[in-house]
Structure formats: C-alpha cells, structure tokens
Amino acid sequence: MEDKVLLSLQDLSKNFHVNGGTLKAVNHVNFDIKKGETVGLVGESGCGKSTLGRTVMGIYSPTSGKILYDGEELHVKSAKDRLEYVKKAQMIFQDPYASLNPRMTVGDIIAEGMEIHKMYDDDKRKKKVQELLELVGLNKEHANRFPHEFSGGQRQRIGIARALAIEPEFLVCDEPISALDVSIQSQVINLLIDLQKELGLTYLFIAHDLDIVRYISDRIVVMYLGHVVEIAEANEVYNHALHPYSQALLSAVPIPDPDLESQKQRIILQGDVPSPINLPDGCPFVGRCSRACDKCHSDKPQLVEVEPNHFVACHNIEKEEKCMFSSLVVL
C-alpha cells in the first residue's frame, strides 16, 4: 500500500427527491482511499453504503461535494468523461444472477468493455478473455457458455473477470459475496486478495459481514443513516471501537466458540431508526443512544481524530479521555 491518495471524498452528499420530501442517502461524507488500500464500508441496511458506492462510480451524480480521483475533481456528466473514468474504475455488483446478461455468452460479457474502449483486435480480445477466465479460477472453455450454466460463485467470478477486462486500478465491491453460499464466500474473498496483490488494485469493499470486512480491509469506515461515524484501521475498530453504534454492530458479530459466545455481552440499541427524509437536528444517532446530552440533540458532531488515525463523530468522545458508553442496555 502506498501513501498516495487515489480517491478523496470531500463533503459528499447524495439526495433523492421523493413524495415525502428529500431523502438524504449520503450526508456530507469525508474520507480518502490510498492507492493499493482496501477500505471496508459497513453499516446496517439502508445506511447509504451502496448509494455511496454508486455515487463514487458516477452512476449517481452527487448532490453536493467533490470526488477527487488521482488529485483531479471527477466529472462524469458527459459520456466522454464517464468513459474515461470507468476505464480506471469498475464495479463488482451484489447479485451475480442479475448483473450478467443472460443472452450473451461469457466471452462476450467479458469482452464487451474491451470493445467499447477499442482495446485490442478480435484475436487479442479472445485471448485476453481466456486469460481472465483462468485468472479468476475458471476454464477458458467457459467463454462459449451462457450465465445460466454456472453456479452463483462462478457467476461472481465472471463478474470479477468482466470488471478486470479493461485493466482498472480501482474497484468498488458492492456486497460481492452476500448472495453466495458461505462455502463459496471465502473463495471469492481470497481471489480478490490475490488479485489485489498481483495487479496492485485498490478496493472500496461494501459488506454487511463484519468478520469478512475485517479480514480483507486495511481500514474500516462505519456509516449510520448516511453519515460516517467512525474511521480507523481494521484491527483498531474491532478491538477498540469508540462510537456507540460501532460497538453495537460489533457486539452482534457471532463468535464460533459456543462458550465464549454464551459469555458475550450483547449491546441492544433502544428506539427506532429515524427516517432519512426527516433527520434529527443534532446527532443522527441521538434517538438510540442513551448517553445523549443536550448538545447531541442540537449540534451535529463532526468527525475528529481522537487518536492517531482514529476518527469518531461523537460529542462524548474527547481526545484525552475515552468514553465507556456504559449506559447502553446490555443482556
């Protein structure tokens, strides 16, 4: 991993206009991804993870804020600009069953990006498709088959091969293993790790499974209701999470040892998740945090560095003193 910043999100927001008002899916997000790094993005369903990933890819246009790629502000409104960007950045989608065109052969699916970008002649493209299939653990003979002939894990490998076809340097992995069997998940994760080492790729890895995120990620970004509430190195988040929401998420991770699992203290959050259309004035977590003070109800906490490379958005965290959040309900 290099120190060079490849992707920088600066005060990034994405809103959607709905009948009830404005849905704030991504709310003033700030963080960087370094070249060769894997940043894991976690949070409960509906917190804005996939929307953030799609905004980074240019599928959605930001409502406000900036996306800097390799030091330059990203503009993907024109077809030309988008074509140049997707040559550098690609996406692996969540559902391997829906993300592949059932009427195209695997070879045509993988070669489509190369044709659009006018890469190689026909013979070279065919050879490249075969190389990519072997790279992701499939046979070159699979190029003539259709997606319905493959299992879920094999289809996701095809999706990875398609993403790598135009030789990108950055991949957004939007829950790439959530639709797969547990036995297949580890194979796909190890494949992504091997490809990163071999090709020098950079990942934004979006997932629900916190154990897998810890395994693959260098740093972890925790999102809640469109806001980033904590950023730190993976082991630091798991061993020393400071935000009460991060602590609650980690307490829900099962432990394989039944004796340790029975002794684990589970943090149960009270209250309901507020609507992203009608966010509270202060901290977005205020309705579920029993340590909330008057300031939490009125002022939105900013993401501050409370320890080296450990950022938290919480009024109860100070630089010299770690808050224990002891008033959360514990089973």
Domain boundary residue among 120, 136, 167?
167
pLDDT at 321: 46
* Lowest-pLDDT range of 20-24, 38-42, 88-92, 234-238: 20-24
Looking at the structure, tell me whether residues 324 and 194 fall in a common domain.
yes
Average the pLDDT over 229-243 and give the result. 94
Answering whether pTM is above 0.85, one says yes
Per-residue pLDDT of 62-115, as tens digits, reads 999 999 999 999 887 777 888 889 899 999 998 888 889 999 999 999 999 999
Looking at the structure, tell me whether residues 141 and 78 fall in a common domain.
no
Residue 12 has pLDDT above 90, yes or no: yes
Domain membership of residue 321 (yes or no) is yes
Looking at the structure, tell me whether residues 129 and 270 fall in a common domain.
no
Give the 3-state secondary structure of the chain.
Answer: CCCCEEEEEEEEEEEEEECCEEEEEEEEEEEEEECCCEEEEECCCCCCHHHHHHHHCCCCCCCEEEEEECCEECCCCCHHHHHHHHCCEEEECCCCCCCCCCCCCHHHHHHHHHHHCCCCCHHHHHHHHHHHHHHCCCCHHHHHCCHHHCCHHHHHHHHHHHHHCCCCCEEEEECCCCCCCHHHHHHHHHHHHHHHHHHCCEEEEECCCHHHHHHHCCEEEEEECCEEEEEEEHHHHHHHCCCHHHHHHHHCCCCCCHHHHHHCCCEECCCCCCCCCCCCCCCCCHHHCCCCCHHHHHCCCCCEEEECCEEECCCCCCCCCCCCCCCCEEC
pLDDT at 261: 66
Domain membership of residue 240 (yes or no) is yes
Domain membership of residue 285 (yes or no) is yes
Looking at the structure, tell me whether residues 184 and 317 fall in a common domain.
yes
Looking at the structure, tell me whether residues 157 and 116 fall in a common domain.
yes
pLDDT at 82: 83
Residue 153 has pLDDT above 80, yes or no: yes
Domain membership of residue 93 (yes or no) is no
Q: What is the CATH number of the domain that holds 173?
A: 3.40.50.300
Looking at the structure, tell me whether residues 77 and 33 fall in a common domain.
yes
Looking at the structure, tell me whether residues 198 and 295 fall in a common domain.
yes
Domain count for the chain: 2
Residue 210's pLDDT band, with cuts at 50, 70 and 90, is: confident
pLDDT at 264: 73
Domain membership of residue 18 (yes or no) is yes
Domain membership of residue 94 (yes or no) is no
Looking at the structure, tell me whether residues 129 and 208 fall in a common domain.
no
Domain boundary residue among 167, 189, 220?
167
Looking at the structure, tell me whether residues 177 and 321 fall in a common domain.
yes
Residue 127's pLDDT band, with cuts at 50, 70 and 90, is: very high
Domain membership of residue 56 (yes or no) is yes
Looking at the structure, tell me whether residues 260 and 302 fall in a common domain.
yes
Range of the domain at 264: 5-88+168-330
pLDDT at 322: 44
Looking at the structure, tell me whether residues 179 and 257 fall in a common domain.
yes
Residue 326 has pLDDT above 90, yes or no: no
pLDDT at 1: 66
Residue 142 has pLDDT above 80, yes or no: yes
Looking at the structure, tell me whether residues 118 and 221 fall in a common domain.
no
Across the chain, mean pLDDT equals: 88
